[in-house]
Amino acid sequence: MIAIGSDHGGFKLKEEIKKYLEEKGFEFKDFGTVSEERVDYPEIAKEVSKSVQTKETEFGILICKTGLGMSIVANKFKGIRCAVCHNENTAKYARLHNNANILALSGEELTTNDAICILRMWLATEFEGGRHQNRLNMIEEIEKENMK
């Protein structure tokens, strides 16, 4: 189960990604927004992040104009590793090395086809573990020190 959300800047791309997920038989929960009317991205990012954090959903997709605001909010949540990916290579390493659990995308910079290629790579790539797990453990320690 995938959590998906966008602000107005990512709305069109969110709808295209939903079509792709439907076609491929992935289940998703849409946290909005529902139109191109202006909304505040922190609200949407919060709901998607909570859903992934509580394991209601396995991972999330967040889209705003740049992907940046969404990722900044998502990374405030303990246990969330959100990566803004601009191409297949960054998507590959976000999964392989960072075990990222939220994919942030730019509605402005990416074509639908770019975004689908990024998502396909994301879905197909497993975390490598090993030395990268040690680094994730270090991130967890930092969270413990710095987050309530």
> What does the binding site for ligand RB5 look like in residue numbers (CB under 6 A)?
7, 9, 41, 64-66, 68-69
Ranges assigned E (strand) in the chain: 2-6, 28-30, 59-64, 82-84, 102-106
- In this structure, are residues 85 and 28 in contact, taking their beta carbons and an 8 Å threshold? no
Which position among 8, 97, 117, 132 bears the catalytic label? 97
Cβ 84 to ligand RB5 shortest distance, Å = 10
Cβ 8 to ligand RB5 shortest distance, Å = 7
Beta bridge partners of residue 61, listed in sequence order:
4, 103
Which position among 64, 82, 85, 117 bears the catalytic label? 64
Rank residues 40 and 141 by Cβ distance to ligand RB5 and give the closer one.
40
Whether 97 is a known active-site residue: answer yes
Rank residues 72 and 123 by Cβ distance to ligand RB5 and give the closer one.
72
Cβ 67 to ligand RB5 shortest distance, Å = 7
Beta bridge partners of residue 103, listed in sequence order:
61, 83
Q: What angle do CA 111, 25, 19 make, to 5 degrees?
A: 30
Question: Residue 22 is encoded by which pair of tokens?
Answer: 């439907």
**Catalytic machinery residues:** 64, 97
